[in-house]
Amino acid sequence: GMETATQFLLDLAMKDKLIADTLDRKNAVESYVYETRDALDMHLSEFITGEDKSTFQAALDEAEDWLYGDGENGTKSDYVNKLSELKAMGDPVELRKVEAEKRGPALAALKKVIADAAAFVASEEECYEHIAAEERQKVTDAIAVAQKWLDENEAAQNAKAKTDPPHFMASAADAQVGPVQRVWRDVSSKPKPK
């Protein structure tokens, strides 16, 4: 009756969805193989050692052979597993490239906030005359924390090769900016006593 028909249609829809998802994952493996192989010769090349590159390229070639051989009619989970296996090798390389791009601007922003806050502390401008030395000291202390982080981490990063994992994430440098900015804004915006 009606219920069996509905169930039949549901099963069919599920089957169609699984077929579509399986094909989607198969295509994902295929495009990952082609895109990554190109990337390794181009924008990722300086972020991977020769030895790792050979190993990774062999894994990509193997995955391609598998796709047109044993893996041609694989299950969805076969493709999901194959992709995560490849990404386990590729993601760290990709991360090194992305972080290398973000690092410069992040460090520049941190150096700028340190310089600007230090300029405020030293400022003899009339608009800041009323701000007491101990208030300014709060800003100096915040600067010192950020500067220490910067000195230690920038030096450690500079000692690393582009093929090494980053010593710190750009987001960690970004996180150093806020505390300095907050104390500096807080102190510098104290109103003049009437």
Residue 1 has pLDDT above 80, yes or no: no
> Among candidates 37, 72, 42, which has minimal Cα distance to 58?
37
d(CA 187, CA 120): 10
Phi, psi of 176 (to 5 degrees): -80, -20
**Tens digit of each residue's pLDDT (9 = 90 or more) over 31-66:** 999 999 999 999 999 999 999 999 999 999 999 999
Tokens of 175: 């996180």
- pLDDT for res 8: 78
Instruction: Give pLDDT, residue 138.
Output: 97
The answer on pLDDT for 77 being more than 80 is yes
pLDDT in tens, 124-143: 999 899 999 999 999 999 99
What six digits make up the tokens of 86?
């490849």
